[in-house]
Chains A and B, each alone.
Chain A
């Protein structure tokens, strides 16, 4: 039953995604590819749409993935699933234990989580780089058929890094290129190069 599967998958994501925003991307990507709901490439498109529209990335991704798998009801089940744990947990904290996060063991738990979240995000970015741009998806795969890099993608990535660096210098090291402008710039480069 696809609706229940969507609901439970996103419920699980909502319950363990400490840190919000980009911290949810590794979890969502894992679920989506494990269920065969979409390819990594499709998932990257969704992250781009989520980044270029208002609202939390998690809600945007849940709605999009739900809708792509099972229409309106799918979107509803996935979104309710991803929101529900947060809603319940925050209600419990606000109503009963407002100083829960001030307890030492809870702080210790969170302190252990923080480097983990950073590691998850960096390794997910790095794996996506390896798979989509360099062409290494698994060690046995490389041994079997070698590496097929996407040179145009690598050029685009290099240009983005350069543009961001130039923007950062020109604003006296104060501002980064806003993500939405980066996406537009990358879209233009994609149209020109591919």
Chain B
């Protein structure tokens, strides 16, 4: 019971104080559970990070669920996830109640016109940062270019093609490339 409360409070704190989302949160989680509480080992933490980054969903939720489960089973996973989401939920819900009135003020709506330009900048710079870190071989370059061209075409010509298809097709291409490399390797072995 004490452990559950401790899990809940730790993740509540992590949810309440991490600006900047996912990656900022991973550093906090490391500090709280590996360095301070020593509930999980460094190695397990690295496994957790890899899993949280490679599965769908917010990294914070993935990490909370994983650490919660490892330290306290299914109830631990539920309580940690609840804890990490609660501060955002409450805060954003309260903001959403007043946001329209707030935006109706002339000065605020002007400020938000400026902020919209900033958000575009933030999205683009997040994209370029990821692009810099992306492994660049022929396959990834082709997938990247095809997705960018596809997205632009779909949007500019108002075509009906869901973003989800891009994700699923790219994953399938990844597997197809892997299968091809297996077949190639097999062919060489025979010779």
Contact = CB atoms under 8 A, between A and B. Distances in A.
Report if A and B associate in a common complex.
yes
Interface of A: 12, 14-22, 24-27, 30, 41, 44-45, 47-60, 63-64, 67-68, 72, 75, 79, 82-83, 85-87, 89-91, 93-95, 98, 100-101, 104-106, 108-130, 132-133, 136, 138-140, 152-154, 156-157, 160-161, 164, 176, 178-180, 182-183, 185-191, 193-194
Contact of A48 (B66, B92, B115): B115
B118 A48 contact: yes
Given A119-B148, A127-B152, 20 more contacts: A14-B56, A20-B58, A25-B123, A30-B162, A44-B115, A49-B99, A51-B20, A56-B60, A82-B58, A83-B57, A89-B55, A109-B175, A111-B140, A112-B173, A122-B124, A123-B147, A125-B124, A157-B120, A185-B118, A189-B114
A57 B163 CA distance: 19
A94 B81 contact: no
Contacts of A110: 54, 171, 174
Contacts of B104: none
A179 B139 CA distance: 32
Given A18-B54, A30-B162, A87 B120 contact: no
Interface in B100-148: 103, 107, 110-128, 130-131, 134-135, 139-141, 143-148
A100 B59 CA distance: 17
B140 A114 contact: yes
A90 B178 contact: no
B106 to A, nearest CB: 9
B27 interface: no
Summarize B's interface: helix, strand, loop or mixed: helix
A15 B58 CA distance: 10
Contacts of A185: 118
Given A30-B162, A86-B65, A122-B148, A187 B115 contact: yes
B97 A67 contact: yes
21 contacts: A18-B55, A41-B116, A44-B116, A51-B122, A55-B88, A63-B89, A67-B93, A67-B97, A83-B81, A83-B85, A86-B61, A91-B77, A111-B140, A112-B143, A115-B141, A119-B146, A122-B148, A126-B124, A182-B121, A190-B117, A193-B110
A176 B121 CA distance: 13
A191 B173 contact: no
Given A94-B65, A115-B147, A194-B113, A128 B177 contact: no
A72 B89 CA distance: 10
Interface in B149-185: 151-152, 155-158, 162-164, 166-175, 177-178
A75 B92 CA distance: 9
B88 A60 contact: yes
Find the residue from B58, B117, B125, B169 having the highest chain A CB count within 10 A.
B117
A193 B151 contact: no
A88 B76 CA distance: 14
A54 B174 contact: no
A114 B107 CA distance: 41
B147 A113 contact: no
A93 to B, nearest CB: 6
B91 interface: yes
Contact of B123 (A72, A124, A183): A124
B47 interface: yes
